[in-house]
Structure 1
Amino acid sequence: MKPDLLQQRPQCYLSRLTYARRAVLAAIGLLVAGFSARAQETWPVNGVADPKNDCYAFTHATIVKDAQTTLSNATLVIRDGKIAAVGAAVTIPKDAVVIDCKGKFIYPSFVDAYSDYGMPAVQRRGGFGSSTGPQFLSNTKGAYGWNQAIKSEVNAVQLFNADETKAKSLREQGFGAVLTHQNDGIARGTGALVSLAAERENKTVLLPRVSAHYSFDKGSSSQDYPSSLMGTIALLRQQYLDAQWYRSSPAKEGLNLSLQAWNDNQPLVQVFEANDKWNALRADKVGDEFGVQYVIKAGGNEYQRLPEMAATKAVFILPLNYPQAMDVEDPNDARFVSLADMKHWELAPTAAGAFEKAGIPFCLSATDLKDVKTFLGNVRKAIAYGLSEQKALEALTKAPATLIKAYDKIGSLDAGKLANFLITSGPVFAENTTIHQNWVQGIRYAVKEDGWKDPRGSYNITFNNTTYPVEIKGTPAAPSLVNKDSIAGKIEIDGQLVKLIINKTKDGQQQLRLSGAIGPDNTWNGSGQDEKGTYGNWTALQTKGFTPKADTAKKKASQELGKIYYPFVGYGYETLPKQEDILIRNATVWTNEKEGKLEGTDVLVRNGKIAQIGKGLSAGNARVVDGTGKHLTPGILDEHSHIAISRGVNEGTQSVTSEVRTADVVNPDDVNIYRQLSGGVTSSHLLHGSANTIGGQSQLIKLRWGANAEQLKFQHWDGFIKFALGENVKQSNWGERQRTRFPQTRMGVEQVLADAFTRAKDYEKAGANKRRDLELDALVEILNKKRFITCHSYVQSEINMLMKTADRFGFKVNTFTHILEGYKVADKMKAHGAGASTFADWWAYKMEVADAIPQNATIMQRVGLTVAINSDDAEMARRLNQEAAKSVKYGGMSEEDALKMVTLNPARLLHVADRIGSIKTGKDADLVLWSDHPLSIYAKPEKTIVDGIVYFDKEKDLELRARIAAERARLTAKMLGDKKQGMPTQRPVPSREEIYHCEDLQAGHQHHILDEHGAETFNQ
């Protein structure tokens, strides 16, 4: 219900008679002038119609029309919920209620471009691996799409229900309008612009269809697919393709309201909830594929990668949800908090200022806050940490209004726009400023009206011809009074009424007791009595106004702040290492070429390539590294790795998921990259897991520590894909509820393969006008020898089955991985043309490895196969040189052949041996300088070089450890300082890292807790 206007009147200094007379005149005028408009309303009136013509004039204010325009001693006139005029020389309408705003500031009300205000609560349900068992298709009733995480048909305007409790909390922080949507699903439908007025929904909906919303979160969907981030991205990509096909193809499969809505929503503002710096880049990449420029809703850590954020060309919505300091008083708790989390706590408030400095457009939002009451405080904190006040105001008014194409209605104080504005006691972002009122659609909402008139200052109070100097201090809402001798008295202000007690002596025996009123021109007068009982009249004259103190929050700007690391973990760089020319002199060089092992040899690196190999080479301007007594080898290549993958290594919800791509989810912040560099690894083949027969596409990366995801990727290599056989595929170890997904037997696996490639052949024959299917596209690439298979395998019967199936459909299996029974079928593999990537001596960890032997690699190598040793384990990858050495022990393999199993042979299997895997002139300078024989358990990499860049240096590592200790000590002291000052803290939260293996079925399947260096301490 609309609040009673008589109760809403702000502090204006009119007589009650004048006030009532103007209200009556205004009502009469409206009956004549506005009857025709009001008569068109469809809502019935239960009683006598009472149309009102609301007109107000706010005079003598400092009016901030927008972030660039401030008017002094100006007037704002509003009528019928809209701004009628604003300026320094505005004619005040005769029917206007005049409100004197001398000493006040008027601002546009804030706009939040990301909210779920007024939306129904979303109930999360089970998904992949839930106790209810698998759900393969959507259970949404109606002619909608097949996946219930795609909710493009949802319209916020149809769900919107005004919530006065939440609206009030937002208004108190300065907001007048929000863009709201249902925060549920991967495609979330449309958003509506609504005001925060306490009115019916039909009056508060300003624009019903403004935006289309997306995320990487499946939300309330109980459907299995997708269960991983890579699956989510694949689904988004397929939805774009399906929508294009649905729009243009006459041969539709029937009505699909989800795809129809998807297409209808494309002209709207496209908003993507990324919530993370890397997800922001992933979303932008999907958008670029389909010509869509997303507005990106951030998560708060995007300041850590500003160049990449700028490159998206996106507008960002920045939440001001800063982490609280952790209570690190107990060192046993503190040691599990990562340095990255501590640094983020310190630097998160710098995000908005960093975006401004980088020239990246953004809006500010109250979304994600546990308590919206902290919003203005967090804005002030952002200002203290580098954000300009002008930009802060713009990011809360013009920027969001322009972004959602509503600047003609909101976002500034211009004639014709909605009367959404704030009346404040001072500059809106000043620490001591109070928001008195928030007017929304011309309706006044009191926020904190106590102290509307700031009484503070110095006064001369005259009583019966005697003057008493006093000073009024405190706050406008709670003033205090002292006399010239600093003896405290008492003051009470209630509206225009005032009571004073002036103590002449400290014991209070001599005092004046006064009461009266504050006039419209700030004249104080009334009557009172002194300690003798003498009555008299009194007046007060202000001799000096109140001068507010400088904001204490701004003092924090000068505090010491840590530096950003690349990547943002303890072992990150302050400045990324650069490529340099290097001469490694007098080392034992393991070439992996026909020259074999060369003693006392030099290797010159120029421009990231191996330039010369020989003795006594001239260094020129190259940096010289003494290799005397040391060994130089090619960098290790891990053919089977699951490091640096975000939110799930398996999309195990379907038997065939060849549409998913590990390339979409590379995680550059994974500390395992650095750890493996410390073990001599320079490249890793990131594989999908083994949960389904045909899994996802893989990605080869170089371990360029500090680079972003795209820079990590090995450029111009043949694409690979993961297949799997055996127990994982047929769900032997998935639990009793997982008994419905085909296949359930090894025989079924063969049928999945036959069916998939039969469909792929038919798909290829269908011609150019077919619906594009990303799953089948990848299989066609296999048939056309443009994508190659790495297959998880154990049992000889299945290995034979896959080779026969491949022969039947005309493709080859490039690599059998694991293959612990490879020694039984090595001759058949050689005839087929397959290679092997295996474990050195794993056995007896499940039934299908019962026949594993440690001589497996040697036997396959002697038959003539290309054999590699892989890790499939983030920890083992740090010691692949030692894993290779086991074949020397068990099988009598030569040392050089053993080293090749972790260098040249995996390069051959991955079709990159022309670039890496050996030390040869012209190849990439991916090298490791070892302290000892590279197959020795005592050997340690002293330098690991990728493309001529030293990414791991033993001496530098010691420096980093010292830096980590110092930085932790500094940040610990800073957090403890916050606690001592009474700032809110949270209990220490262990930093968790996802470590994946082949069989891990869900995102977050296995967590590892990190210590202060980012090293794993124990599992949970």
Structure 2
Amino acid sequence: MNKSYLLLLFLLCSLTTFAQDYFPKNDGVKTEERTITAFTNAKIYVTPTQVIENATLIIQDGKVLQTGTNISIPKNATIVDLTGKSIYPSFIDPYSDFGLKAPKRTLGRRRGAQYDASREGYYWNDHIRPDINPMTSFSFDKKKATDLLKAGFGTVNTHMNDGIVRGNGLLVALNADADNSMRILDNRSAQYLSYERSNATQQSYPTSLMGSMALIRQMYHDADWYSKGNAKRKDLALEALIANKNLVQIFHSGNKHNSIKTDAIGDDFGIQYILIGDGTEYENISAMKATNASFIIPINFPKAYDVSDPYAAGVLELEAMKHWNQAPSNPKTLADNGIAFSFTTHDLKKASEFKGKLQKAIEYGLDKTKALEALTTIPARILKQEDKVGSLQNGRQANFLITSGDIFDTKTVLYENWVQGNQNVFKDKSHKDLRGKYAFTIAGNTYDVNISGSPEKLKSEVMKDSMKLGSKIAFKDNWLQLQFTTPDTTKKEFIRLTSLVNNATYFSGKAILANGSETSFNATQKEVAESKDKKGDKKDDTMEAPKMLPLSYPNSAYGSATLPQQETILFRNATVWTNEKDGILQNTDVLVKDGKIARIGKNLSAGNARIIDATGKHLTSGIIDEHSHIGAFDINEAGHNSTAEVNMADVVNPEDVNIYRNLAGGVTTIQLLHGSANPIGGRSAILRLKWGRSADDMLFKDADGFIKFALGENVKQSNWGDNNTTRFPQTRMGVEQVFTDYFQRAKEYETKKKTGNYRYDIEMETILEILNKKRFVSCHSYVQSEINMLMKVADKFGFNINTFTHILEGYKVADKMKAHGAGGSTFSDWWAYKFEVNDAIPYNGAIMHSQGVVVAFNSDDGEMSRRLNQESAKAVKYGGVSEEDAWKFVTLNPAKLLHIDDKVGSVKTGKQADLVLWTAHPMSIYAKAQTTMIEGTIYFDLERDTQLRRKIQTERTELMNMMLSEKDKGMKTQPAKKKEKVDHHCDTVEY
């Protein structure tokens, strides 16, 4: 009895079990490695750009021996004929945590924060862990390896996903049949960094993004100092950091803004990081290119939102909707701009999602060669492992895929994934794809047969003329079995067919008719089936790219199609509030040219300037908010009682919509201040609200440096709860001692610095700048006793407090402030919101002003900041300050406090053109900012705002229709959800 007959008998016997799954799913059959194997007649992608038709690949002992045409095959080789099939290098994932689990935080919330490191002999901060060796805890995960193999991956670069500096990585071949000595290709493949703290018990510092950045900078300074033999004690973490210095440095920065800052940190220390992206790089591609970095990007494009409920849809931010629409274009945008990038599965829930996401990127225009490079040669080059993986050149690891065709085509089947010469079988490569429409001829009758489903689990539909006949089909090892009913519906009779299929376009076999007689049949394929995805929507390589909304700046609500540009503008016939000795000028023209105020006068010649008719309107300098917390990712580094090392410029969020709202309120400049979590806070950032531009573009150029100090309840943790009672200081007298101690330490640091033998300390350098009057203090303050105290401490150390910000008892010590040289930036009329402001009065500003103190009104609030024009009017009501002087409270005076009054704060020839045109008296509740200009560029315009609102509605409607269409097609969606936005205040602490 021959083998074919036995197989036929098996198929015939199984007719009675058609309702069951005939054949068990093959989850990855492995065969033993042959010494030499030759794969012939294949289309071989040696590299993405070196493709050989009808070629041969020879492997031996887990490596590529030879690839090409007309090559001699060794006599003892096993030959595998791959006619009509393709071979690709297996993929590489350069950012993974495969086989490694981050340690869990075992301790619950302790009473009191832990400030000291828990590891003896290591760096002072537990989150710096370059010494972590993943080999000690690596465990090969066969299940996850199988999932990755099925997705086409053969190699992963894995690491411990825990900490700010996370130790080295492992380059692992996904070879389940090997031991670690073989499968681990490099046990020091890279060093990994991030801004995320570890699960170590020491959780007090850092508590913020800017704290993480400062810690990394200080760590590099310390490593340099340590490497020169200056340390008295051994530090195992710094030694590991130094040992890892020449490894590839992979940095998970978190978002496109952080990528820019991260690259700048690297530049400061001569390091070129490989940056882990977040998929939004397309929104600021020029800045990404300027980093000169290679990127590892996720491919977890978001699902469409379910917007079928209009109430739920109403909470969706336009930014999130646009990202859904535009995110798949990110790989193409990177490729088009010549940025080297690799893909990672890291953020995917399942590796099986990878192919579909990649195909979506290709639909959005990603070139297939670029896609293959991002999966093979580029990750190999990023990891400096080109001699081992990423191609099928001679001597490389025998890691390759065998496919039915184009690896990126939806119809393509991945048959096998070989890793280190070890075969992993997922589909039978000899299996024919029968899907399509056929004409079956049996005993002179023709039947129309449509075969559909998946290649491994077919479905059949048999038609005779216009009558549909009941049918069932099975196909295994290229043996077809088809059963269908006869057209005679009065009888329950069947015709049974079986055939060995060698050619899907034409085949023949035996037929058992209803009467039991045996005959033959012929089958001719009339049409190949169209490929469909699981949800049934057609996929076609020639389909047009999905419609994508254009980018805006920023790429969210109220973003402009193009960045606004500097203009030459003539404001004609305005009421001009000069803030200078000329006072308020009626019916006056102001010419703006090259970003500055060029001329002020009547009946000025327009020349080529654009004319804005300002008749009946008021032109003023832009409002300046001395104390703001808008436009930041976080506000407080609360980990220590002094955090002078942190910098608010590191955490500027240029896409905060409050920036646009402030422009609508006539605000052009703010001081972005650190919060009040500690007596000595972080360095300030003075920002010009250039909506749509980058964080660096917003920084006020050539401005003096400032720092935030704080007094009162917040710094002594009065309201922080029972678990925060251990950090010094806990009393107001302790606050004084903190200042004294740190100033004394800075003086001692300066003395040692002059010797040349010192450890560079960012915190001490900053405090030393204060003592040397190169950095200036804005101090959060309320109570007169503490205000007095700090002025005395400053006098003792030979400098003065620049500004007491939101000071509410300044009226009690105004004369002393004047004598000391301190200014006062206050609230117009806030009081009684906590105990230490009970003595606040609305006449505070007027009284300080009357004593010669430079007075400003600030907001400390994202909502109040866009109404500062109205706040200034309260100085007229409470204290009788003149309108001109009251207006200076929000323009010229804060400019003086910030030392930028030579550039802005008044309307004066030669000053920078930061101007606002108001529709009415600027302090009126009815006045609107019609035009807000910074350096001669209009960043807010009332008419354009109306157009933007219409555009927002149009884009929302269009995107929602796209999403509804996605849902109608059966695609998976995610619930519409509101983006939770934190409104930052002085006491906001996020950790």
**Cross-structure match for 2:352:** 373
Of the structure 1 ranges 648-657 and 675-684, higher mean CA displacement relative to structure 2 is found in 648-657
**Cross-structure match for 1:34:** none
**Candidates 91, 96, 110, aligned match of 1:110:** 91
Q: Name the SS for the 2:559 alignment partner.
A: coil
Amino acid at match of 2:139: N
| Residue 499 of structure 1: how far off its partner (Å) | 2.8
Question: 1:211-234, CA deviations, whole angstroms, 9 ceiling, x for partnerless residues?
Answer: 111111113234210001111110
**Cross-structure match for 2:237:** 258
Matched, 1:328 2:307: yes
**Residues 931 and 940 of structure 2 are in contact (CA less than 8 Å); yes or no, is this contact kept in structure 1?**
yes
| Residue 282 of structure 1: how far off its partner (Å) | 1.4
Q: Name the SS for the 2:865 alignment partner.
A: helix
Change (3 A) 1:961 1:317: same
**Cross-structure match for 2:22:** none
**Residues 116 and 180 of structure 1 are in contact (CA less than 8 Å); yes or no, is this contact kept in structure 2?**
yes
**Cross-structure match for 1:38:** none
**Cross-structure match for 2:248:** 269
Matched, 1:513 2:496: yes
CA distance in 1, matches of 2:540, 2:232: 61
**Cross-structure match for 1:569:** 556
- Within 5 Å, which residues of 2 pair with 1:320-469? 320-449=299-428, 452-455=431-434
**Cross-structure match for 1:663:** 649
CA distance in 2, matches of 1:500, 1:184: 56
Q: Name the SS for the 2:839 alignment partner.
A: coil
| Residue 170 of structure 1: how far off its partner (Å) | 0.8
Q: Name the SS for the 2:224 alignment partner.
A: helix
CA distance in 2, matches of 1:823, 1:556: 72
Amino acid at match of 1:562: L
Question: 1:307-353, CA deviations, whole angstroms, 9 ceiling, x for partnerless residues?
Answer: 11111111111111111111111121111111101111111111111
Of the structure 1 ranges 83-92 and 725-734, higher mean CA displacement relative to structure 2 is found in 83-92
**Candidates 114, 131, 154, aligned match of 1:176:** 154
**Candidates 691, 699, 707, aligned match of 2:685:** 699
Instruction: Tell me the TM-score normalised to structure 2 length.
Output: 0.92
**Residues 157 and 205 of structure 1 are in contact (CA less than 8 Å); yes or no, is this contact kept in structure 2?**
no
Change (3 A) 1:522 1:158: farther
Change (3 A) 1:55 1:973: same
Amino acid at match of 1:838: T
Of the structure 1 ranges 739-748 and 442-451, higher mean CA displacement relative to structure 2 is found in 442-451
CA distance in 2, matches of 1:864, 1:927: 27
Change (3 A) 1:515 1:604: same
CA distance in 2, matches of 1:71, 1:565: 44
Unaligned runs of 5+ in 2: 8-30, 533-537
Matched, 1:534 2:522: no
Q: Name the SS for the 1:184 alignment partner.
A: coil
**Residues 479 and 491 of structure 1 are in contact (CA less than 8 Å); yes or no, is this contact kept in structure 2?**
yes
| Residue 247 of structure 1: how far off its partner (Å) | 0.5
Amino acid at match of 1:81: G
Of the structure 1 ranges 337-346 and 498-507, higher mean CA displacement relative to structure 2 is found in 498-507
**Cross-structure match for 2:173:** 195
Matched, 1:979 2:967: yes
Change (3 A) 1:181 1:426: same
CA distance in 1, matches of 2:418, 2:607: 73
| Residue 144 of structure 1: how far off its partner (Å) | 1.3
Matched, 1:773 2:773: no
**Cross-structure match for 1:291:** 270
**Candidates 601, 608, 613, aligned match of 2:600:** 613
Of the structure 1 ranges 808-817 and 59-68, higher mean CA displacement relative to structure 2 is found in 59-68
**Residues 159 and 170 of structure 2 are in contact (CA less than 8 Å); yes or no, is this contact kept in structure 1?**
yes
- Within 5 Å, which residues of 2 pair with 1:549-948? 552=539, 557-646=544-633, 648-766=634-752, 767=754, 768-948=756-936
Q: Name the SS for the 1:604 alignment partner.
A: strand
Of the structure 1 ranges 818-827 and 696-705, higher mean CA displacement relative to structure 2 is found in 818-827
| Residue 301 of structure 1: how far off its partner (Å) | 1.2
CA distance in 1, matches of 2:962, 2:542: 15
| Residue 124 of structure 1: how far off its partner (Å) | 4.9
**Cross-structure match for 1:24:** none
**Cross-structure match for 2:939:** 951
CA distance in 2, matches of 1:776, 1:832: 25
Instruction: Tell me the TM-score normalised to structure 1 length.
Output: 0.89
Amino acid at match of 2:846: T
| Residue 91 of structure 1: how far off its partner (Å) | 2.9
| Residue 796 of structure 1: how far off its partner (Å) | 1.1
Identical residues among aligned pairs (%): 50
**Residues 622 and 914 of structure 2 are in contact (CA less than 8 Å); yes or no, is this contact kept in structure 1?**
yes
The Cα RMSD (Å) is: 2.6
Change (3 A) 1:506 1:684: farther
CA distance in 1, matches of 2:938, 2:437: 69
Change (3 A) 1:176 1:671: same
CA distance in 2, matches of 1:409, 1:716: 50
Question: 1:90-132, CA deviations, whole angstroms, 9 ceiling, x for partnerless residues?
Answer: 33333333323222221111111111111124425789xx564
CA distance in 1, matches of 2:488, 2:390: 54
Question: 1:142-161, CA deviations, whole angstroms, 9 ceiling, x for partnerless residues?
Answer: 42111111111112233221
Question: 1:729-755, CA deviations, whole angstroms, 9 ceiling, x for partnerless residues?
Answer: 111111122111001111111111111
Amino acid at match of 2:223: A
CA distance in 2, matches of 1:77, 1:544: 38
Change (3 A) 1:124 1:312: farther
| Residue 491 of structure 1: how far off its partner (Å) | 4.3
**Residues 723 and 791 of structure 1 are in contact (CA less than 8 Å); yes or no, is this contact kept in structure 2?**
yes
CA distance in 1, matches of 2:32, 2:989: 64
**Residues 385 and 556 of structure 1 are in contact (CA less than 8 Å); yes or no, is this contact kept in structure 2?**
no
Question: 1:575-615, CA deviations, whole angstroms, 9 ceiling, x for partnerless residues?
Answer: 01111011001111000000011011110000110000000
CA distance in 2, matches of 1:975, 1:472: 33
Change (3 A) 1:547 1:70: farther
**Candidates 473, 481, 493, aligned match of 1:499:** 481
Amino acid at match of 1:751: Q
Of the structure 1 ranges 50-59 and 667-676, higher mean CA displacement relative to structure 2 is found in 50-59
**Cross-structure match for 1:119:** 100
Amino acid at match of 1:114: Y
**Cross-structure match for 1:143:** 121
Matched, 1:237 2:217: yes
Matched, 1:87 2:53: no
CA distance in 2, matches of 1:267, 1:883: 56
CA distance in 2, matches of 1:616, 1:998: 48
Matched, 1:311 2:290: yes
Change (3 A) 1:132 1:986: farther
| Residue 512 of structure 1: how far off its partner (Å) | 5.3
| Residue 83 of structure 1: how far off its partner (Å) | 1.9
Q: Name the SS for the 1:977 alignment partner.
A: helix
**Cross-structure match for 2:187:** 208
**Residues 455 and 476 of structure 1 are in contact (CA less than 8 Å); yes or no, is this contact kept in structure 2?**
yes
CA distance in 1, matches of 2:140, 2:150: 16
Q: Name the SS for the 1:707 alignment partner.
A: coil
Change (3 A) 1:541 1:83: farther
| Residue 812 of structure 1: how far off its partner (Å) | 1.2
**Residues 917 and 930 of structure 2 are in contact (CA less than 8 Å); yes or no, is this contact kept in structure 1?**
yes
Amino acid at match of 1:388: D
**Residues 415 and 428 of structure 2 are in contact (CA less than 8 Å); yes or no, is this contact kept in structure 1?**
yes
| Residue 86 of structure 1: how far off its partner (Å) | 2.1
| Residue 64 of structure 1: how far off its partner (Å) | 2.1
**Residues 364 and 546 of structure 2 are in contact (CA less than 8 Å); yes or no, is this contact kept in structure 1?**
no
CA distance in 2, matches of 1:556, 1:734: 59
Count matched residues. Answer: 951
